[in-house]
Amino acid sequence: MKAIAVRDGAGEPELIELPQPEPAAGEALIRTLRVGVDGTDHEVIAGSHGGSPAGDDYLVLGHEAVGVVEDPNDTDLEAGQLVVPTVRRPPNGDNPYFERGEPDMAPDGQYHERGIVGDHGFMAEYFTSPESTLVTLSPDLAEYGFLVEPISITEKAVEHAEASRSAFEWTPESALVLGNGSLGLLTLAMFEHRFDRTYCLGRRERPDPTIDIIESLESTYINSNETPVPEIPDAYEPPDLIYEATGYAKHPFEAVEALAPNGVLALLGVPGDWEFEFNGGKFHREVVLHNKALVGSVNSNIRHFEAAVESLGALSEAFLSSLVTGIYDLEEFEQAFVDDDTTIKNAVQFSSYEERR
Amino acid sequence: MKAIAVRDGAGEPELIELPQPEPAAGEALIRTLRVGVDGTDHEVIAGSHGGSPAGDDYLVLGHEAVGVVEDPNDTDLEAGQLVVPTVRRPPNGDNPYFERGEPDMAPDGQYHERGIVGDHGFMAEYFTSPESTLVTLSPDLAEYGFLVEPISITEKAVEHAEASRSAFEWTPESALVLGNGSLGLLTLAMFEHRFDRTYCLGRRERPDPTIDIIESLESTYINSNETPVPEIPDAYEPPDLIYEATGYAKHPFEAVEALAPNGVLALLGVPGDWEFEFNGGKFHREVVLHNKALVGSVNSNIRHFEAAVESLGALSEAFLSSLVTGIYDLEEFEQAFVDDDTTIKNAVQFSSYEERR
């Protein structure tokens, strides 16, 4: 079968030929429909994040997949069911984080991530996965099912952010999303009916397709070149929740100060080292005197995938079709990895839902 | 009656004469037993924090009080009941934070703090307070009842820190308290049976009475001159919870990195401005990749006072008597405000529980 992989050090993806996998006990064989591309894939390809499985000098890419059960094997799944796989797998048999369904909370060394680190991903015509790692979804979600994984990332981050505010009566009205990439826009769409007012910060100038999407969500676009984060409280309002999806290392510090009293900042970006000067005393004081919180979040577990299936179902076709700027067949897979100002979210299509062998 | 107040700009407390207060409807008249002194009092005296009530050029000090109901007035309290008052009061009639019992979450301008900002404190022979602001305690807690307020500060901070970890199965084993002042030591004592291993960071050299207390709590003293926060994970272990009670503006950043994966930092200090260079990218990345949280906490509400009464009852007489280094009568009140290396926690005694007029 065909797969899209990156060889160690190659710096670009290539099409390779692999044997079709055999499901082990407890696993189903899945025919891949679509696999999304995100910033993590670009980091993996560049070699700045992740790594190949032990013993292999290549990594099959892809962690945002949707597929169809081809062979249920010994599982309770049924052939033809639409499924999305979670990403983390135990590296050496189970460990407590996996046993209790919280692999997203496992520390370094206690997880692999399919398509990212230690385990091959889903960018292949078929993949196998344990039943416990697969969420089912209704056939009408086949087209955009590869968005369940990124949506699950936000489900987790927001769950943790809300938990941090659960010791008192928190009634948030406004949310600010930092970043107008695909994750930022998905999050903004999820927030449309959760908050009275939403804002999205980016650095693009008009005309721009992401700004059009932001405005179609009845959200306010904030151009960071005109209104940087520290000026947002005066220019708009201090937000109750800020969701960071930029990886810009100054954002946590600016955002905490911009929050409304009792607000929370969810951090999701993964920046490199960056030393800078900053008023740590003011940050510290502000967090304390206004009961603020800051919560980091990485990965997601099957509960978040299940919530994400619900959230995906609530997003409009108009939004989804404007977010997904490219679906590319295997023959033109390189196109899916192009990242320019017209690209918002791309995916590779391995087969269509209606196909049968 | 006699009261201890600071005149605006005086920089030191003095004994003044005031009329005995009359309880308004819904208020009881309380005969003051003891009122503790803490760092906030020193800041208020120095003029760097808080302020006198509108129209007055002096502030009666004291926010850590225990007293006896002298006149229940129209409340359901009974004469002779031991009570501790909360600290925040609504500035102009009620507001939603007070109405729902969460004045500790009120933003600037929506609260006064008795003995700190906008309202006179409890360092007087009598004070009045609404029934809804008074928690009752059993007579055996009369001696140390002035510790209920500082303990309530930790109840709230730990409640918020634990809430931030409530979206997953968090099983903390170790806690580190930054600061060996009275609040740090009280917190360490509260942690003795909540965590398997506790640590307390200070900058004192042996012999020192706070180090003796730390070791009597079966905790490990960490001298920050020998082992600064960034070295604690290697020298001891990365703690699951860190409680900051130093007001040292670099501690939040060092402590987040020192935390164990999925750990939480509770911030309580209130530093002044301080600009310094720091690796914000590493901080940001560490928070995200290890699901860490940081929670600021100020003040406390009546639920936390009620929990604090329970916690106080569980602390040993040996610990409490070593923590409280001075109880001073009104005639020698200046002694209670001395803050040197032999002072841990002082209080002023206005009357004794057994006294009757």
Rounded CA Rg of chain A: 20
- Chain-centroid distance of CA A99 in Å reads 23
A 10 A CB-CB count for A175 gives: 27
Residues of A in contact with B261 (CB under 8 A): 105, 107-108
pLDDT category at B316 given cuts 50, 70, 90 is: very high
- A297-330 pLDDT, tens digit each: 999 999 999 999 999 999 999 999 999 999 999 9
Mean pLDDT of A236-241: 98
Cβ within 8 Å, pair A284-B252: yes
Distances (CA, A) of B237 to A312, B47, B175: 42, 40, 10
**Strand order of the sheet with strand B13-17?**
B13-17, B2-7, B58-60
Q: Do B105 and A270 touch (CB under 8 A)?
A: no
Most B CBs within 10 Å: which of A95, A294, A299, A303, as the mutation test of the B interface?
A294
Q: What is the mean pLDDT of residues B39-50?
A: 94
Residue of B nearest to A164 (CA): B164
Interface test with B, best of A168, A257, A273 (most B CBs within 10 A): A168
Distance CA B155, CA B149 (A): 10
pLDDT at A314: 97
A252-270 pLDDT per residue, tens: 999 999 999 999 999 999 9
- The per-residue pLDDT for range B56-96, each reduced to its tens digit, is 999 999 999 999 999 999 999 999 999 999 999 999 888 99
Q: How far is CA B309 from CA A107, B36, B46, B184, in A?
A: 37, 16, 31, 18
Share of chain B above pLDDT 70, in %: 99
Task: Give, as one character, the DSSP assignment of residue A124.
Answer: B
- Written as six digits, the tokens of A319 are 């939004």
Interface A-B: count of C-beta contacts within 8 A: 186
B346 Cβ contact list (under 8 Å, min separation 6):
B36, B37, B324, B325, B326, B327, B328, B335, B336, B337, B338
pLDDT for the residue numbered B356 = 55
Does A168 sit within 8 Å of B105, measured CB to CB? yes
* Neighboring chain A residues of B296 at a CB cutoff of 8 Å: 286-293
List of residues 6+ apart from A10 with CB closer than 8 A: none
Please tell me the distance from the alpha carbon of residue A336 to that of residue B266, in angstroms, as a whole number. Answer: 44
Say what the pLDDT of residue A92 is: 86
Residues 6+ apart with CB under 8 A from B58: B5, B6, B7, B8, B16, B52
**Residues 293-332 (B) with a CB less than 8 A from some CB of A:** 293-298
| Partner-chain contact B287 A294, CB within 8 Å | yes
Q: Is B49 at the interface with chain A, CB within 8 A? A: no
Give mean pLDDT, residues B143-170.
98
- Which residue in B104, B105, B288 is closest to A297 by CB distance? B288
| Intra-chain end-to-end CA distance of chain A, in Å | 13
Q: Each residue of B183-230: pLDDT tens digit?
A: 999 999 999 999 999 999 999 999 999 999 999 999 999 999 999 999
Q: Is A9 on the interface with B (CB under 8 A)?
A: no
Q: How far is A57 from chain B (nearest CA, A)?
A: 25
Query: Nearest Cα to A271, choosing from B284, B253, B257, B262?
Result: B284
Over residues A226-234, mean pLDDT: 98
Of B157, B203, B201, which Cα lies nearest the Cα of B176? B201
A290, B107 Cβ separation under 8 angstroms = yes
pLDDT at A354: 81
Residue of B nearest to A304 (CA): B167
Residue A87 near residue A114 (C-beta atoms within 8 A):
yes
User: Which residues on chain B are in Cβ contact (under 8 Å) with A302?
Assistant: none
Cβ neighbours of residue A288 closer than 8 Å, sequence gap 6 or more: B267, B268, B269, B270, B296, B297, B298
Instruction: Say whether A252 and B107 touch across the interface (CB within 8 A).
Output: no
The arithmetic mean of pLDDT across residues B21-48, rounded, is 97
Chain A CB within 8 Å of residue B253 CB? yes
> How far apart, in whole angstroms, are the C-alpha atoms of residue B283 and residue B257?
7
**What span, in angstroms and rounded, lies between the C-alpha atoms of B15 and A186?**
63
Give the confidence band of B7 by pLDDT, cuts at 50, 70, 90: very high
**Looking at residue B357, what is its pLDDT?**
42
Residue A64 has pLDDT above 80, yes or no: yes
Q: What is the mean pLDDT of residues A267-292?
A: 97
pLDDT tens by residue, B222-245? 999 999 999 999 999 999 999 999
pLDDT for B341 beyond 90:
no
Q: Is A273 on the interface with B (CB under 8 A)?
A: yes
The pairing of strands B82-85 and B64-71 is antiparallel
Please give the single-letter amino acid code of residue A277: E
Residue carrying structure tokens 């810009």: A248
Asked if B271's CB is within 8 angstroms of A285's CB, the reply is yes
* pLDDT over threshold 50, residue B281: yes
Q: Confirm if B61 and B123 have CB atoms less than 8 A apart.
A: yes
Mean pLDDT across the stretch B141-149?
98
Selecting from B280, B287, B290 the residue whose C-beta is nearest the C-beta of A278 gives B280
- C-alpha of A228 from chain center: 25
Q: Which residue in B has a C-alpha nearest to residue A245's C-alpha?
A: B288
Classify residue B355 as exposed, middle or buried by CB count within 10 Å of its CB (0-12, 13-18, 19+). exposed
Q: In chain A, positions 171-230, which contact chain B (CB-CB < 8 Å)?
A: none
pLDDT averaged over chain B? Answer: 97
- Tens digit of each residue's pLDDT (9 = 90 or more) over A133-184: 999 999 999 999 999 999 999 999 999 999 999 999 999 999 999 999 999 9
Asked whether the beta carbons of residue B281 and residue A105 sit closer than 8 angstroms, the reply is no
Q: How far apart are CA B77 and CA B85, in angstroms?
A: 13
Amino acid at B205: E
> pLDDT over 90 for what percent of chain A?
96
Which residue in B166, B251, B296 is closest to A291 by CB distance?
A: B296
The three-point CA angle B211-B213-B216 to 5° equals: 110
Closest CB from A160, A274, A294 relative to B294: A294
